[in-house]
Structure 1
Amino acid sequence: MDNIHDDHRVFEVKYIATELASDVVISVEDVKFYLHKLESMVSFSFPTNAQ
């Protein structure tokens, strides 16, 4: 486990080695987000504020 410091916060970097290298877990405080890479690429479009 590593620690990343900036001026006001300390972040812990945690990772585990698995056979599923494409899986990612993002922790924000006490909430975990589990992300999975899809085999077939899906196209996403993000709305913009430009009018």
Structure 2
Amino acid sequence: MGVLSGKGLFVEGQLARAMYMSLHLMHRQVVIGALPTMLSEFGRLLLKRTAPHVKLH
């Protein structure tokens, strides 16, 4: 993108994470399809909510 505008673009933080996740999900949708991508992300969301935030050992 820097070549097109002549300037560099630096993104960090939550915006960078959201952009990366969006790109990752679009790639997965092309490779494995929309339904498997939605199901795997729904499963990941459920596991993330139920996993403990602190290691107990």
| TM norm structure 2 | 0.21
Higher helix fraction (1 or 2)? 2
Higher strand fraction (1 or 2)? 1
| TM norm structure 1 | 0.22
